[in-house]
Amino acid sequence: MVLAAVMLLTGCSGKTKQVYDIPELTYPVTAKVEVTDNYFGTTVADPYRWLENDTAADVAAWVKIQNELTDSFLKQIPFREKIKSRLEEIYNYPRVGGLVKAGEYVFYNKNNGLQNQSVIYRRKGTDGPEEIFMDPNS
């Protein structure tokens, strides 16, 4: 979200307007591999397929380097905390949704405002006691 806000602040023209002094980023080289598929007679290269194996050590190392680069950039934004505070203020409200009836139970999700994921609840009928069915935050 913060990155989207920064992009909005830099404008939409072909040139990027620099709103603060941050040095150029040097991106790490991403390895390419020789992988191709043949789809109905058309050969399609897929040089970054190795990144699809998200449990591989080399992918974890690549992600770590990318995250370090991103963090080094984001840490230099002088108004980052102000953006974060405003976004929290905007998104911090209770939400209920996803009402589904399955058999004799009603399932729905609730988020108290800033929970990462909504908690799924169930109740028997419309008047039964509310029970946590699944809390992906715990």
pLDDT in tens, 66-86: 999 999 999 888 999 999 999
Nearest to 1, CA basis, from 63, 68, 91, 67: 91
pLDDT in tens, 29-41: 999 999 999 999 9
* 0.85 exceeded by pTM: no
Work out the percent of the chain whose per-residue pLDDT is above 90.
72
Looking at residue 76, its pLDDT comes to 87
pLDDT in tens, 87-109: 999 989 999 999 999 999 999 99
How many CB atoms within 10 Å of residue 63?
Answer: 12
Question: Whole-angstrom distance between the N-terminal and C-terminal Cα of the chain?
Answer: 23
pLDDT at 8 over 70: no
Looking at residue 116, its pLDDT comes to 93
Residue recorded with tokens 């799924």: 120
Looking at residue 114, its pLDDT comes to 87
Looking at residue 112, its pLDDT comes to 93
pLDDT at 124 over 70: yes
Dist CA 26 CA 85 (whole Å): 29
Mean of the pLDDT values across residues 23-50?
94
Strand blocks (E) in the chain: 36-39, 42-45, 95-102, 105-111, 119-124, 131-134
Helical residues (DSSP H) of 50-138, grouped into ranges: 57-74, 80-91
